[in-house]
Structure 1
Amino acid sequence: MARSRTKNKNASTHLFCFSHLRWSFVFQRPQHLMTRAAREFTTWYVEEPRDFDGPPFLHIEADSSGVTVVSPLLPKEFDQRQRNAAVKIMLARLISQIRPQRLIAWYYTPMALQFTEALEPDRCVYDNMDELSAFAGAPNGIAQMERRLMSRCHVVYVGGHSLYEAKRKRHGNIHVFPSSVDSAHFRQARFVESEAADQSSIPHPRIGFFGVIDERMDLKLVAELAALRPEWHLVMIGPTAKIDPETLPRAANIHWLGCKDYASLPRYLAGWDVGFMPFAINDATRYISPTKTPEFLAAGVPLVSTPIKDVVRPYGERGDVEIAADANSFAGKIDFLLHRPRSPWLASVDAHLSRMSWDETWAGMRQHLDVVTPDNSEMAEARSV
């Protein structure tokens, strides 16, 4: 059984992170935070189970970041009860083998409670990065599972101010930590000389997006903008999830380049004249705080977004991001950005981003892991549900 051998001062503390996101899918909040956790703790990232032609098995692989990725492999014919039971047994066996002196359970999905409820961690954490119950294909009972999870947790983090306002009364030790940015990584886009080969032949002006392309994207807006400005070229980067790829709008000036690894993103952003975030305004986006907002800015790419609350405030209010609600407004804002001098804007953006980093976010979260807070009426009420 392979596992991380990262040397760190708290290696006897094992952090088990339970996530609905594949480690290798898109490098985002869980990956940024867990790679930092691995500098201090022995860190395991437990993915949702995969189907497997064979008996139940834990595939365990050490990532170069120091995180050990655990993928439960289960017979495809197993029903949900059997799947939960199998994962519960395999995880219990793994934890009994490593015998951690201190155990931290860190949740991104409440559904993991189905196979971890018997765990008795020294610290239980819920990093509520999104309102998963509002996403397409959300599991049945996820809201009830979240209530159970929050009743067990010592601390809850939320990924944005809108989500904090919605949940701040549900737990007595809840803190808002908006997604941050690896400025040094994305700042490379400002100095790239040779851009990505599969983008180099696309004419300018280029209007770019990167991220997961799913039910949160306003595909109608993308199509309308492309039709409204046929001389502009919309460059779309990211994997398609939970929607039929056949529904993606097609036009000579829309370029679907697929998923790109995190390391290569600056080379693509370097070739964009303006960025855009055409998020739909729906239940799935009501509480999102897009990680890519500060990433666009760190790359030095002017940005237009639909009026997502956690983008409007603070980015729109500061003038860092332009806000538009429809294709005509997007076209007007992009026209403005194509001709606006960048130096004053970049100075304001850099001043804002200088106060943001994933290291600071992790440090802020980390300080709560050793603090024991007294019980309170909210938590007591939640435990009675």
Structure 2
Amino acid sequence: MDEDLDLPRLIQDASAPTHHRSGEGVRPSGPTIICFSHLRWDFVTQRPQHLMRRFARDHRVFFFEEPIGCDHPLPYLEYHPFPADGIVALRPRLPHWWNEAEREAGLRGLLAMLVEISCAGEPVLWFYTPMMFAFAGEVEAAAVVYDCMDELSGFRFADPRLTEMEAALMRRADLVFTGGWSLFDAKRTLHDNIHPFPSAVDAKHFGRARRANGAAPGDQAGLSGPIFGFYGVIDERLDLDLLRELASLRPDWSFVMLGPIAKIDPAELPRGPNLHWLGPKSYGELPHYLAGWDVALMPFAINEATRFISPTKTPEYLAGGRPVVSTAINDVIRHYGALEGVAIAGDPPAFAAACERALSLGRAGPWLGQADALLAAISWDRTQADMARLLTEAVLAARLASTRAANDEADGASAALAPYLARVAQSAEAEDEVGPGRCPGAVAAAAMLTAGSST
């Protein structure tokens, strides 16, 4: 049920401490971050969640989500605190009958109130979707960051204005990150301060799959044969035909598919006695499911939606101690293709053969040590720390540019006034010679400003 929420009451004063996982009040040392995302905070744990949780250690973080229609005649913000993560998710509610212009104006007003009430100084604006730049682009910011985690224009149902809005965001951004090297290669000429940050991993979290010795989750318990699994959003990026053929080729294998269904009709999903669609699972549950798998799968379709992806699950699967079989995703090949524990295959027979080889590796051996050596160099903690350093540099550079612009404006004003004041000075000097109308103050002021304009 929609509830009227008063923004000043909901949004904490910027001087209040943020409550983090430890339960202790921590006063943020950095500027407030307003993160604009096309993903809900509590949907699936992906790149935004990993990074913003870590930024919340030193910043107040507001996670500004896409709007939802409501029956109320006035717009408002739903306030969803996630104390364990240290962030506050904000869900705009807009009258469902509003047109696009009204929606944009309403969002602009809600954002302006948020900044006025809850930001001590200019915030950092952090974008995961360019579409929110339409209403947020005019906000005065300490820095503007675009973390391009996906090529959203290639996704199903992408807004036709997305490319145009991304270009506008690129022009305003002080700092741009990409979610992988393929995206970086595609966009590196569009900004002079752009940096690739491929998917990282919380190895400790997924390492639990290696040590798990308890009972299997109830809906996975009792499955026969070796188990091949996938977790993630089930959408147009999956090759459902490949999965259907694979299940048919290996009827004695069990295939477990975890995750919410998005942008596709559930009726499109292949069905069979060895195909198990178990629905969405929380981030905390994933290692328990992964522990029961023999091989982890990434059966992605090769299309525009997957052209630039850098799947987070690749290092997660490896951290869980499971060999991986994937279709030919560019960033998977680039980063992990040389590992014995990662196989790349295309058509169903080749994919099935690759699964056989992965199964023969087992859950220990040289392949795992090789994978661990690679994983030791990547982590979300390291990625966030590197991003934080670049953000600090961007904030300082933006302040310096603003100061220079203000000085240039002042110098320009002085230069524009100088000819007029020089004429005033000449007139005053003429009057000084004849006596009446003498104005030494004007003479001095003109002299000072004229001198100042030449420095």
* TM superposition score category, shorter chain reference: over 0.9
Amino acid at match of 1:279: F
Distance in 2 of aligned mates of 1:97 and 1:11 = 18
Q: Aligned match of 1:47 in 65, 69, 72?
A: 65
2:93 paired residue number: 73
C-alpha deviation, 1:2, in angstroms:
5.2
C-alpha deviation, 1:101, in angstroms:
2.1
- Residue-by-residue CA offset, 1:61-108 (whole Å, 9 max, x unaligned): 211211011000112111221111111101101211124224100000
1:172 paired residue number: 192
C-alpha deviation, 1:191, in angstroms:
1.2
Instruction: In structure 1, list runs of 5 or more residues that go unmatched.
Output: 376-385
2:224 paired residue number: 203
Q: Aligned match of 2:42 in 10, 15, 24?
A: 24
2:18 paired residue number: 5
Distance in 2 of aligned mates of 1:192 and 1:344 = 21
Which segment drifts farther, 364-373 or 154-163?
364-373
- Residue-by-residue CA offset, 1:34-59 (whole Å, 9 max, x unaligned): 00010000110000001222131101
The count of aligned residue pairs is: 375
Q: Aligned match of 1:331 in 352, 356, 375?
A: 352
C-alpha deviation, 1:10, in angstroms:
3.3
- Residue-by-residue CA offset, 1:285-306 (whole Å, 9 max, x unaligned): 0000000000000001111000
Q: Percent identity?
A: 47
Q: Which has the larger radius of gyration?
A: 2
Amino acid at match of 2:390: H
1:134 paired residue number: 154
Does residue 381 of structure 2 align to residue 359 of structure 1? yes
2:250 paired residue number: 229
Which segment drifts farther, 311-320 or 190-199?
311-320
Q: Alignment RMSD, CA only? A: 1.5
Contact 1:12–1:100 (Cα < 8 Å) also in 2: no
1:57 paired residue number: 76
Amino acid at match of 1:177: F
TM-score, normalised to structure 2's length? 0.80
SS in 1 for 2:285: helix
2:137 paired residue number: 117
1:35 paired residue number: 53
Change in CA separation of 1:319 and 1:313 when aligned onto 2, cut-off 3 Å: farther
1:148 paired residue number: 168
Q: How do 1:234-313 residues align onto structure 2 when only pairs under 5 Å count?
A: 234-313=255-334
Instruction: In structure 2, list runs of 5 or more residues that go unmatched.
Output: 1-9, 20-24, 401-455
Amino acid at match of 2:245: E
Amino acid at match of 1:56: P
SS in 1 for 2:243: helix
- Residue-by-residue CA offset, 1:110-143 (whole Å, 9 max, x unaligned): 0001111210101100000000000000012100
Change in CA separation of 1:318 and 1:66 when aligned onto 2, cut-off 3 Å: same
SS in 2 for 1:256: strand
Amino acid at match of 1:361: T
Distance in 2 of aligned mates of 1:308 and 1:251 = 27
C-alpha deviation, 1:219, in angstroms:
0.2
2:427 paired residue number: none
Q: Which has the higher contact order (CA 8 A, sep 6+)?
A: 1
- Residue-by-residue CA offset, 1:312-332 (whole Å, 9 max, x unaligned): 112012333100001101111
